[in-house]
Amino acid sequence: MNPAILALEDGTVFEGRAFGALTERSGEVVFNTSLTGYQEIFTDPSYSGQIVVLTYPQIGNYGANDEDMESARPYIEGLAVRDFSPMVSNWRSDQAADAFLKLHNIPIIDSIDTRKLVRHLRTRGVMRGVLSSISTDVKGLIEKARSIPSMAGLDLATRVSTVGSYAWTSPVEPCSPSERIRNGEPLHHVVAYDFGIKRNILRRLVTSGCRVTVVPAGTSADDVLALRPDGVFLSNGPGDPEPLEAQAAEVQKLFGKTPIFGICLGHQILGLAMGGKTYKLKFGHRGGNHPVLNKKTNKVEITAQNHGFAVDPDSIHDNVAEITHVNLNDQTVEGLRHKSEPVFCVQYHPEAAPGPHDSLYLFDDFTRLMQEHKK
């Protein structure tokens, strides 16, 4: 086996074995606590610019397939795991995970102490790093890690967004009996801003009875309204929300003209559009086991999350919006609702279904808002 090295900007180094592509990649080193769903993580555009550490010890054992893709390709810069399995045993597998990442020039390091690495990132905060399976120059790799751009202030959403508009028509499969009824003639037309959108969000919108038109991140409010939407959706995506001032300004122009629903980065952009501010979290929220309190129902939802920034609760004026959801681990803002307009958003991913269905009501809330707005 070829050796691999993960070097962090603070001088910490992890040495292990190389899988995937024999190459060198750099990015912000983050960790995800999900037990399954590694292919969804690989292909989530929100991980653009990041090397991902998975806390579950064995990864790769069920391979990869076309159905579990959240986008057209993987977006992670690199992968760090305790034990990467070269053997695949699953009836749904079309390809080994090793071959899948190698095809897209993504390196993997395994046989490292991921518990030690995650505890280090929790204590010191996420940091820049380089993963190399072609160089053993430790000092050189550390210097490279210190020279790459910080995630703070970085606009990655416009880089991963679609170049042109397109229609999405595929629902969630298989659907429940009640969902099949809604998969007939679409009831609503939703224009979805693509800041790095996941395919399962699009499937959920279609399953909820929507005809979906996906548009680039830089689309103006006038161009969106020209499509005559019943509602507008703001997607997840990578990077810092603060550089997206232009997008937030265009979204603000849509207030009062159409219902709006945002998820993850879309939530943060809506927070900016409501006059709020965002800030970088120490190590972010990434995984499928984050408890969130719905302040309206007083119920706890088990949620999937993937973000490194959050909306500052002190920056949201009481006369503009209310905080509807709160993270029970650290009390960060997980949901907002405008007080006078049909606009709401959540920081977490209801389409990922970790609960498994704790948060699907949000899509019904969106369709209900669109129906009421039509009257």
Q: Provide the annotated active-site residues.
A: 264, 349, 351
The answer to whether 27 and 50 are in contact (CB under 8 A) is yes
Start-to-end CA span in the chain (Å)? 65
Per-residue three-class SS string for the chain:
CCEEEEEECCCCEEEEEEEECCCEEEEEEEEECCCCCHHHHHCCHHHCCEEEEECCCEECCCCECHHHCCCCCCCCCEEECCEECCCCCCCCCCECHHHHHHHCCCEEEECCCHHHHHHHHHHHCCEEEEEECCCCCHHHHHHHHHHCCCCCCCCCHHHHCCCCCEEECCCCCCCCHHHHHHCCCCCEEEEEECCCCCHHHHHHHHHCCEEEEEECCCCCHHHHHHCCCCEEEECCCCCCCCCCHHHHHHHHHHCCCCCEEEECHHHHHHHHHCCCCEEEEEEEEEEEEEEEEECCCCEEEEEEEEEEEEECHHHCCCCCEEEEEEECCCCCEEEEEECCCCEEEECCEHHHCCCCCCCCHHHHHHHHHHHHHHC
